[in-house]
Structure 1
Amino acid sequence: MKKLVAAMLALVFAGMLIAGCGSGDRKKIVVGLDDNFPPMGFRDDNHNITGFDVDMAKEAFQRLDLAVEFKPIDWGSKEAELSGKRVDVLWNGLTITEKRRENILFTKAYMENRQIIVVAAGSPVKTKADLAGRVVGAQEGSSSIDAIEKDAATLATFKELKTFGDNVAALMDLKTGRLDAVVVDEVVGRYYIAKKPGEYAILTENFGSEEYGVGMRKDDTELLNKLQQALDEMKQDGTAAKISRQWFGEDIVK
């Protein structure tokens, strides 16, 4: 009898532990990001992680009374990091796509972005058609790759599509002439170009527009609902616009 009672108590205690691990009792959120993706998320001169998305995440989770940790990850393995529960949220210029929706739960879009084509100043490349026979670069695992692959006709004309671990490396190869063009998120490309006046140019044509959202695990619906409410409130009370103006000089929040 004592053994039976002990066993029942053990089951009850185990159930309490499981219940206590629900998302509603979560105290901290781990945000996965590419820490070389300015101005969305990157390291400043003091090696601290900063950026537009970082400021947005800090504000949103503060409103939810949740501590936040920013964890740099291999962006090409972001879905594995999320599903493996090494991070709770992907928040770093993450493009919403139907393919990603299969494995990721997204908030509503909070920003629109284009996939621009960057070339060196004075380059003979003026249009997408001029990319024929050229070497084009993009970040591995990025939505830039997805956008290029969607335009199969143009991709087929490339001499090579070369991938890089980050956009900085791609733009450096463009500057040295090892690439003829780089396809990159507009918010990132314009940030770098503004820092290097006269070195780069942006083509009028692009590889399409996209929307950014915050991603989490498919079963994390409670967190999604709470985070979406916080984002909606930030937009309504002007906080999101204020953060946007600090980083972009204008309100570009969707």
Structure 2
Amino acid sequence: MNSYNYRDIFWNGFWRQNTGLAQLLGLCPILAVSTSVVNGVSLAIATIVVMAMSNAVVSALRNLIPYEIRIPVFILIIAALVTVLDLAMNAWLHELYMVLGIFVPLITTNCIVLARVEAYAAKNPALPSAVDGAAMGVGLMLVLAVLGGMRELIGTGQLFAGIEMIIPGAHAVQVLPADYPGFLFAILPPGAFIALACLIAGKSWLEARNKAAQTSTGAGCVPAAH
């Protein structure tokens, strides 16, 4: 595959088929963990690692896996990788691991991971499959970072709360005035639904505007009849 193909694979996962804004997959972790930027991005990075590695492993073994039992085997591979990641986070990032809680091992059952393994990795070579998995994970990180930032800023007036769990000595950034009373609704589940709906609407608006601009540009390039 040439460089253009890889760019297309990445753009497809990052924006065109974004898991949170276009496919609407994995909404449980997206809505539950996006209370802050740190929580959302941390889970997204863990998901990127699992998706890239599981796609690569499944692609490498795809010709050895009988078609009839492919789904159980795929889940077994994903579960093994998630277990390694779960133990590593528990050992080296214990505070963050305790905050993310059950959502780290639940990456195993995240429909985003299994969907890409089945739809792409099982049919393509290892390197493009790894890029596809990483791109889908990066697209998820985009959603979780923006969604977490929106909810955290509106809800508490801060950004990057909990960053000290990853970078010792770092502190949250107080963006709004210190006497900002906060807006609890943004932190609660209804706030997550509304914020995600705004992001989906924004993506649809941007795509519609770009399509309209391309259409008008194409119409302007039509040569005049003589």
Shorter-chain TM-score tier: under 0.3
Higher helix share: 2
Larger radius of gyration: 1
Q: Structure 2-normalised TM-score?
A: 0.24
Q: Which has the higher contact order (CA 8 A, sep 6+)?
A: 2
Q: Structure 1-normalised TM-score?
A: 0.22
